[in-house]
C-alpha cells in the first residue's frame, strides 16, 4: 500500500511547476515518434500472425457441419477486437515501450541528470514523465487500431490461402452481427492500458536507486507491474462495461 501511495503522489507532482506549452509540444512529438513509429512493425507483425493462428484454430474447433463457415471470421473478429488487439498488444507494449521508459529514466537517475534538472529549478517529473504519458495516450490507441486491422487481415490470408474459408464467407462473417460497442470498448481499454504502462514504467525508472544493475531491476519490475496492472484493469473494465 505504501508503494501505491508513492505512485499516486508521483502522479500528482507532474502537474506542479509545469513548463511552457511549446516545450511540451516538442517533447511529446519526440515521444510519439519513439513510441508509435518504433512499435509499428512489431505490432503489425505480431497481430497479423495472431489473427492467422486464431483463424486456423477456430476452424479446427468447428467440428459440426451445421455451423456455417462465416462463423469462423465472426469469432476471429470478436476475439481480435475485444481481447487480442488491446490486451495482448498491451503486454508486448509493456515489454518494449515500458522497459525502454524505465531504463531511460533509471539511467538518467543514476547518472544524476535528474538531479541536475532539479538544481536548475525544473520539475523533473513534469518535464520527463508527462510527455511520455501524453504520447502513450495518443499513440497506443492508434496501435490497437492497426493491430485490429492486421489481425483480421492475417486471418483473411490464413483462411483463404489454405482453403479453410472462402473470401466471401470471411467478409460475411466480419460484417455479421456487428456490434459497434466492441470497438468503443477496445479503445477505452487501450487508453487505460496506455496510461498504466507509461505511468508505472516511468515511476519505476524515476525511482531507481543504485547503479547500472538496479536499472535492469527497475526495468524488469516496470514490465512485471505493468502487465499485472493491465490484466487486472482488463477484468475490471470487462466486468464494468460488458456485464449485464
The model's pLDDT over 101-111, given as tens digits with 9 standing for 90+, comes to 888 888 888 88
Q: Which of 12-21, 115-124, 129-138, 193-202 has the lowest mean pLDDT?
A: 12-21
What are phi and psi for residue 145, nearest 5 degrees? Answer: -60, -45
- Output b/e per residue, 97-132; b: 16+ Cβ within 10 A: bbbbbbbbbbbbbbeeebeebeeeebbbbbbbbbbb
Q: Are 67 and 170 in contact (CB under 8 A)?
A: no
pTM (two decimals): 0.87
pLDDT number for residue 98:
87
What are 189-210's pLDDT values in tens digits?
Answer: 999 999 999 999 888 888 888 7
Cα(206)–Cα(200) distance, rounded to whole angstroms? Answer: 10
Cα(69)–Cα(52) distance, rounded to whole angstroms? Answer: 16
For residues 45-55, give the mean pLDDT.
90
The answer, yes or no, to whether residue 244 has pLDDT greater than 70, is: no
Cα(147)–Cα(40) distance, rounded to whole angstroms? Answer: 9
Amino acid at each position: 500500500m505504501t508503494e501505491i501511495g508513492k505512485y499516486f503522489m508521483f502522479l500528482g507532482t507532474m502537474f506542479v511547476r509545469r513548463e511552457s506549452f511549446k516545450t511540451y509540444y516538442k517533447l511529446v512529438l519526440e515521444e510519439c515518434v519513439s513510441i508509435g513509429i518504433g512499435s509499428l512493425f512489431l505490432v503489425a507483425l505480431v497481430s497479423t500472425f495472431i489473427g492467422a493462428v486464431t483463424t486456423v484454430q477456430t476452424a479446427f474447433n468447428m467440428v459440426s457441419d451445421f455451423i456455417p463457415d462465416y462463423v469462423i471470421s465472426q469469432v476471429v473478429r470478436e476475439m481480435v477486437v475485444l481481447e487480442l488487439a488491446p490486451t495482448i498488444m498491451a503486454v508486448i507494449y509493456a515489454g518494449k515501450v515500458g522497459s525502454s521508459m524505465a531504463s531511460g529514466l533509471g539511467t538518467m537517475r543514476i547518472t544524476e541528470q535528474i538531479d541536475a534538472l532539479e538544481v536548475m529549478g525544473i520539475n523533473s517529473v513534469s518535464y520527463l514523465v508527462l510527455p511520455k504519458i501524453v504520447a502513450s495516450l495518443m499513440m497506443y490507441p492508434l496501435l490497437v487500431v492497426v493491430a485490429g486491422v492486421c489481425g483480421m487481415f492475417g486471418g483473411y490470408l490464413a483462411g483463404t490461402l489454405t482453403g479453410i474459408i472462402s473470401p466471401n464467407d470471411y467478409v460475411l462473417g466480419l460484417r455479421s452481427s456487428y456490434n459497434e460497442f466492441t470497438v468503443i470498448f477496445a479503445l477505452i481499454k487501450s487508453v487505460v492500458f496506455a496510461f498504466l504502462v507509461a505511468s508505472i514504467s516511468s515511476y519505476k525508472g524515476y525511482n531507481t536507486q543504485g547503479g547500472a544493475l538496479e536499472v535492469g531491476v527497475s526495468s524488469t519490475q516496470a514490465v512485471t507491474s505493468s502487465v499485472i496492472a493491465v490484466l487486472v484493469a482488463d477484468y475490471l473494465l470487462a466486468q464494468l462495461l460488458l456485464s449485464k
